[in-house]
Structure 1
Amino acid sequence: MDDSQSFWVTASTNGLGAALIEALVHRQARVAASGRNNLQFHAMARRHGGHLLALDGDTQHQADRLKLEWGALDTLIINAGACDYLPADITENQLLQALIKTNAEAVERYLDAALPLLVEARRPHVVVILNLYTAAQLSDPSFPASIATSLPERLREKRAKLRQLGIDLTIVTPYAPPSQHPVPRVPEQWTAQSAATEILSRLPDREEEIVLEALELRTLWPLKSF
């Protein structure tokens, strides 16, 4: 990996998102970071020089900045298990449903905003990282999953459309459909750093789905403090 490869990582304030940023910068890639704590990103950018670009503003403003700076984007990594997208006035009772809703909305926003940048790259790649909550079905689990009730199903439906544009899609999920993995996987004690290393090491293979089942979600996606 070198500075000819560009990555945009969302929700990278802490946990897995921050670990991905650190690992990519260490590998000399060009990295754009977006998330709630912009002061942290600017401090990281000063520390890492030209390898890290701190993005401010709303999603479209961030994409416009990347268009101006880079012109194209090789890889978009959407961290879709984080609290970075939550409104500031969220209450503890609203947290779980809001976490699922805001992460699903973030996936749509970032895909739409980054699409013009991705189609300009030679081999564009989108990676969406789900956690146990955002991968869950929003209905009776005995019912078949659909694009209306399941973010993973919505992403799988998008894969064919993205492929027509030459864009590969990898979904990182805590579990896969039983038809793909009939033997249950044993959850592992992933840290943010070890999970980031595992994900990045497998990106060149462009797998459709990577199963990353974790014992401690808070180490990868710290929950909001109340």
Structure 2
Amino acid sequence: MPTNEKIWITGASSGIGRELAERLAEQGNQVFATARNHVVLESMAAQYPGITPIPGDLTDPDCSRSLNEQLKQHVTYLDRIILNAGTCEYLEVSNPDWKMMERVMEVNFFGAIRSLEAALPLLQANERGARHIVAVGSQASRVTFPKAEAYGASKAALTYFMETLAVDLADQKIQVSVVQPGFVETPLTANNDFPMPFLMTVDKAADHILKRIMKKPAFIRFPSSLSSVLAVGSSLPWFWRNWVAPKLTR
């Protein structure tokens, strides 16, 4: 687990982001926590002195500059950024809300890009050599799931972007990891009205991430049971799409 690092986390007011922020602060890291809910951020900071609130709305096209300016008020460099902010909505093809596709992409993909724009100069200013970008994707991007057009596509776009970014940043020795969790008990998944196989608690999800984060792997996938199933599904896309996915319909 990281210690004595300067770490920025987005989507830090709930779920995996909050669990990571609080644990990393407990371990002696200087954590900068971003979310729209500044009240929750202030409450976290009051409980954990290592947390500094950096409120911001990642759906705002102009947020990158303000986030960068807020961060620079506290640090001259960052060791690690964890791009965790995310949302989920499902497409009902019988009565489609096409604007929903934009809402999900705004947070899950463009929100991560705006965050990267704000933080990359601070990673590049780090002369210690830690320099690590962590993006929270999803196992849902590996195969098709019913009604998950927006969520799966946004996470697939994020994953491709980060994999390519890893190539382009290699000469700067900035490493990139994509976290792909399965179903985790968070406020987002509490709204799901369908079975969630291999559902895990948020503290166990944080365990998986923190145990592996120092090695900076290309992917951090969990739980292993779900990952194994999806590995087979992704290698047999026709079988998954025509035989397995239809049985997962709510």
**TM-score, with structure 2 as normaliser:** 0.65
Q: Could you report, residue by residue, the CA deviation over 1:107-158 in whole angstroms, capped at 9, with x for unpaired residues?
A: 1111111011001222200000112556678xxxxxxxx9xx7332222111
Is 1:30 the counterpart of 2:30? The answer is yes
Is 1:4 the counterpart of 2:1? The answer is no
Matching residue of 2:74: 69
User: Which residue type is aligned with residue 203 of structure 2?
Assistant: Q
Matching residue of 1:142: none
Which residue of 121, 126, 147 corresponds with 1:116?
A: 121
Q: Is the radius of gyration larger for structure 1 or structure 2?
A: 2
Query: Deviation of residue 159 (structure 1)?
Result: 0.8
User: Which residue type is aligned with residue 171 of structure 1?
Assistant: V
Q: Report the Cα distance in structure 2 between the residues aligned to 1:152 and 1:211, rounded to whole angstroms.
A: 12
Is 1:189 the counterpart of 2:199? The answer is yes
Q: Could you report, residue by residue, the CA deviation over 1:8-40 in whole angstroms, capped at 9, with x for unpaired residues?
A: 000112111111111111212110000121111
Query: Deviation of residue 102 (structure 1)?
Result: 2.5
User: Which residue type is aligned with residue 172 of structure 1?
Assistant: V
Where structure 1 has 5 or more consecutive residues not aligned to the other structure, the ranges are 84-91, 138-145, 176-186, 216-226
Q: After the TM superposition, list the runs of 4 or more consecutive aligned residues in structure 1 that deviate by more than 6 angstroms.
A: 134-137
Matching residue of 2:51: 52
Asked if the contact 2:32/2:51 (under 8 Å) is kept, the reply is: yes
Q: Report the Cα distance in structure 2 between the residues aligned to 1:214 and 1:60, rounded to whole angstroms.
A: 39
Q: Quickly say closer, same or farther: Cα 1:150–1:23, change in 2 above 3 A.
A: same
Matching residue of 1:125: 132
Matching residue of 1:178: none
Matching residue of 2:21: 21
Matching residue of 1:150: 157
Query: Deviation of residue 95 (structure 1)?
Result: 4.0
Matching residue of 2:228: none
**Helix, strand or coil: the match of 1:69?**
coil
Asked if the contact 1:7/1:32 (under 8 Å) is kept, the reply is: yes
Q: Report the Cα distance in structure 1 between the residues aligned to 2:119 and 2:73, rounded to whole angstroms.
A: 13
Q: Quickly say closer, same or farther: Cα 1:132–1:28, change in 2 above 3 A.
A: same
Is 1:42 the counterpart of 2:42? The answer is yes
Aligned residues: 186
Query: Deviation of residue 191 (structure 1)?
Result: 1.3
Q: Report the Cα distance in structure 2 between the residues aligned to 1:132 and 1:96, rounded to whole angstroms.
A: 19
Matching residue of 2:185: none
User: Which residue type is aligned with residue 46 of structure 2?
Assistant: R
Structure with bigger helix share is 2
Is 1:168 the counterpart of 2:175? The answer is yes
Q: Quickly say closer, same or farther: Cα 1:71–1:42, change in 2 above 3 A.
A: same
Matching residue of 2:189: none
Q: Report the Cα distance in structure 1 between the residues aligned to 2:2 and 2:132, rounded to whole angstroms.
A: 16
Q: Report the Cα distance in structure 1 between the residues aligned to 2:40 and 2:107, rounded to whole angstroms.
A: 22
**Helix, strand or coil: the match of 1:189?**
coil
Q: Which structure has the higher relative contact order (CA within 8 Å, separation 6+)?
A: 1
Q: Report the Cα distance in structure 1 between the residues aligned to 2:143 and 2:105, rounded to whole angstroms.
A: 9
Asked if the contact 1:104/1:134 (under 8 Å) is kept, the reply is: no
